[in-house]
Amino acid sequence: MKYLLDTHIFLWWNLGTGQLSQQIVDIMSDGSNEIFLSAVSAWEITIKVAKKRLTIPEEPERFLPSRMQLHGFQPLPIQIHHAARVHGLPLHHKDPFDRLLIAQSQVESMPLISVDNDIRKYEVEVVW
């Protein structure tokens, strides 16, 4: 099955915070699942590192691709139809990164792995 990671899930998985549910650990450890990281998450991480609101062990240019390769995560580029889908979303969530992840999850028919309860207000399958 295909899954899309919310940014915090990617970070928790790679920084070893121990905050992941057992269900998520099982999903992400199961080699038959395809796990995707959106370019919007890479963008969000890079901005937070630049603003010194997030510390990661390497520069984003190395950290992101090396961790994706290590875990076999697939990249999900941002397409025009993903961005356009945001227009139709209700304003339950104001975070532009999360709104684009929601749109990508809908367009690509991928459950979104997230602990964010505001995302559950949308017509999107959320796994936690």
Q: Please compute the mean of the pLDDT values over residues 60-78 and round it to a whole number.
A: 98
Q: What is the CATH number of the domain that holds 116?
A: 3.40.50.1010
pLDDT digits (tens, 9 = 90+) for 40-59: 999 999 999 999 999 999 99
Structure tokens, 61? 């240019």
Let me know: does 112 contact 6? Beta carbons within 8 Å: yes
Residue 35 domain boundaries: 2-127
For residue 17, pLDDT over 80 is answered with no
pLDDT at 91: 87
In the chain, DSSP assigns E strands to 2-5, 34-38, 74-76, 112-113, 126-127
Alpha carbons 50 and 87: distance in angstroms, whole number: 28
Domain count, the chain: 1
Residue 124 binned pLDDT confidence (cut-offs 50, 70, 90): very high
